[in-house]
Chain A
Amino acid sequence: MSELKKIMHVDDDEDILEIAKMALEMVDGFELHQFNSGAAALDAFETVAPQLMLLDVMMPGMTGPELSRNVRERHAALNTPFIFMTAKAEQSVCQELYAAGALEVITKPFDPMSLGSQIRDAWSKR
């Protein structure tokens, strides 16, 4: 099993991108490629070739689940796993996301100090 290094992070909230970047690069030493829209992320997917995607759910334009569907359709062979982050913490919402094939669902607000280990745990049970 290869070690997780390169993560594509997509969220429309710039502040959250900033916090996550500090947390995941400074605390956990990941290589983070961030995009603020689903469309931009989809365009760059091939170039970045991430090992894992960290996706916000509610985004204008293309939602997280839509982006994950598009990636799977275009790059089916890669079988890139994805983790959703959502501020809607209801059980029913989480269940839907798992049903859509999510490796993990992390609820917001997340703890930046333990975000990296949450992602690693999910990566290891892949």
Chain B
Amino acid sequence: MKQKFDKRRGVQSDLSWVFSALVVSLLLVGAFWAMQTSGRVDSFLLATAVVLLVSAGAGSLKNVIRARNLSGQMMADSMTVALQEQILSEHTIVCVTDTFGTITEVNKNFSETFGYTKDEIIGQPASALYRTDAAGSVYHAALITVKQGSLWSGLEELSDKFGRRITTQTTISPKVGRNGQVVGFVFIRTDVTSAIAQSAEDSRNELVEILRDGVIIYDPWSYEVSYTNDAFIRRSRWATDTKDPKSLNDLFHKHEMQLFQRYLGPLLNNEAHQVMFEFDHASGPVEVLTHAIEDMPGKRSLISVVRDISERKKAEQLKLSSVSTVSHELRTPLTSIKGALRLLDSGLMGEMTHDARKLVNVAHRNSERLLAIVNDILTLEKLHSGNLMISANDVDLRTILTDSAEANAPFAAECNVKFTVEDIGKPAHVRADPQRLMQVMSNLLSNAAKFSPAGSDVKMRIRDSGDVWRVCVEDQGPGIPEHARDTLFDSFIQIEGTQSNAFPSTGLGLTICREIVHRHGGQISFDTKVGEGTTFYFDLEKSVASEMSMNETAVA
């Protein structure tokens, strides 16, 4: 009887301690959640906290219940506590450890949340649940606090059995033995992973809502839409007239969806961090920039930012048409200048003195040069704006080489050099615009001829280089000095001291070559040795026809 009484008194004194801690802790927990949930104090969590603190003060719930049963009194109260235990167990994740932090007991919620069976986790250190070393050291610091008889509450970053991130709101309380000593720890956790994600998503969405660009988040495989911002919905003329799109298919037409499928591949294969493509939407041209994001732990989504680029397109068009206009405005006076000089030179207006003829020639040559610059600028502008039509024909590079050697032979003769073509002995097919490739070759050949010593050969050859054919133009000129190499392909770059009045250039030739080769998906570069010569080369992807004819050759 005495023993029973003592026990009861023990419990009561425990409870009085609990009540003072309860008030303080309730305030703390409540304030914390008020912050976390932007003003929504979760009543369930408060209830949990109440129960938790009762148990904490008593050492553990079971101790409380056992003590009350022993007393044989206050049955109604113990019913309440039993009910509280049930609530606790149903809604929270409970884990009990010994003083070394070795797990001795877990509830069903624990197993469900972390994926471990009781057998797997009991006997394991609780520290194993922590996601990072930093999270682990918070845990160790918390235990020191709890050992001294206080409660610890806070957010924890944990990992489940499969490495998924789990964020919990955790309270650690000491487990007090019969003699009042701390015999272990009780971890009461609430899984707030999705609440945290939600809160992060809420603030992200707030930001995204005020953007002028349309933002849409969707599943990469099913195209199920999980989010669209205001700007996206405001943009009119989607495939269906919906304010609440469920799938990308509700928004984009079939041919537009094909664009998505084609461009998103590299993102899904982790080959690219972001992809961008443009297309002409019914409401105007748009640019779509897409990133992969981890929306929820372990769940990948795609976020596409759809930007209206009609203004930019208009500006580009305006620029193009103004360049074209300037070019036209320059050609008209050039027509008169060149025409007048040509008539003077013809002798129809009477014979000129030798010196007068020389001056007319200077003027005529420079008017030719001016015209070449105007033409090159126009070509370049069209290449930059993408308005230069590049046809895709099946082209045998051997034909391009022999044709360009022939077409530029008069210039070679002027420079007193010879263009030679080395035979590769097999077809070298690419998908290309033959006219544009001829333009590249003409530029490379005229450069090579200009810089070659009289009487030398400029050699052209094709190299089989894996997936690509490499076209080389080799001269025996002075080579390109080191300081000029980096900027050689930039506009209006000419190597100092190489300007010749006999063979003037526009300084745009190599820029045009680079643009054309890039438009064909190829690369252009050069090898050079001062005093020995330079080889310019460009690589173009082999076409299927070329593969086929190679196989045919192999079979034959």
Contacts and interface: CB of A to CB of B under 8 A. Distances in A.
Contacts of A87: 327-328, 331-332, 335
B328 A23 contact: no
A109 interface: yes
Contact of A110 (B339, B340, B348): B339
A27 B348 contact: yes
Given A13-B335, A23-B343, 12 more contacts: A13-B336, A15-B333, A16-B339, A18-B336, A22-B343, A27-B346, A58-B328, A88-B328, A109-B335, A110-B339, A112-B343, A113-B346
Contacts of A18: 336
A27 B348 CA distance: 8
Contacts of A31: none
Contacts of A19: 335-336, 339-340, 343
A26 interface: yes
A26 B339 CA distance: 14
Interface of B: 324, 327-328, 331-336, 338-340, 342-343, 346, 348, 371, 389
21 contacts: A13-B332, A15-B333, A15-B336, A16-B332, A18-B336, A19-B335, A19-B336, A19-B340, A22-B348, A23-B339, A89-B331, A91-B389, A108-B332, A109-B338, A109-B339, A110-B339, A111-B338, A111-B339, A112-B342, A113-B342, A113-B346
B324 A88 contact: yes
Contacts of A15: 333, 336, 340
A16 B336 CA distance: 6
B331 A109 contact: yes
Task: Give the one of B334, B336, B339, B342 with max A CB within 10 A.
Answer: B339
A88 to B, nearest CB: 5
B204 to A, nearest CB: 47
Nearest to A87: B331
Chain A at the B interface: mostly helix, strand, loop or mixed?
helix
Contacts of B332: 13, 16, 87, 108
A90 B324 CA distance: 10
Nearest to A58: B328
Nearest to B346: A113
Task: Give the one of A15, A18, A87 with max B CB within 10 A.
Answer: A87
B242 to A, nearest CB: 40
Interface in A85-126: 87-91, 108-113
Closest 8 CB pairs of A and B: A19-B339, A87-B331, A15-B336, A109-B335, A108-B335, A112-B339, A109-B338, A87-B328
Interface of A: 13, 15-16, 18-20, 22-23, 26-27, 58, 87-91, 108-113
A6 B331 CA distance: 27
A19 to B, nearest CB: 4
Contacts of A91: 389
Contacts of B346: 27, 113
Nearest to B349: A22
A26 B342 CA distance: 13
Contacts of A90: 324
Task: Give the one of B328, B332, B335, B336 with max A CB within 10 A.
Answer: B335
A90 B327 CA distance: 11
B490 to A, nearest CB: 26
Contacts of B342: 111-113
Contacts of B340: 15, 19
A91 B336 CA distance: 23
B348 A26 contact: yes
Contacts of B324: 88, 90
Contacts of B335: 13, 16, 19, 87, 108-110
A14 B342 CA distance: 18
A32 to B, nearest CB: 15
A111 B337 CA distance: 11
A13 B337 CA distance: 13
Nearest to A112: B339
A87 B374 CA distance: 11
Given A19-B343, A22-B343, A27-B348, A109 B334 contact: yes
Task: Give the one of B332, B338, B340, B346 with max A CB within 10 A.
Answer: B332
Contacts of A13: 332, 335-336
Given A16-B336, A19-B340, A23-B339, A109 B328 contact: no
Contacts of A111: 338-339, 342
Contacts of B336: 13, 15-16, 18-19
Nearest to A19: B339
A67 to B, nearest CB: 18
A27 B336 CA distance: 17
Task: Give the one of B324, B338, B371 with max A CB within 10 A.
Answer: B338
A17 B327 CA distance: 20
Nearest to B340: A19
Contacts of B339: 16, 19-20, 23, 109-112
A17 to B, nearest CB: 10
A88 B336 CA distance: 16
B42 to A, nearest CB: 68
B129 to A, nearest CB: 69
B350 to A, nearest CB: 12
A29 to B, nearest CB: 12
Nearest to B368: A109
Nearest to A85: B335
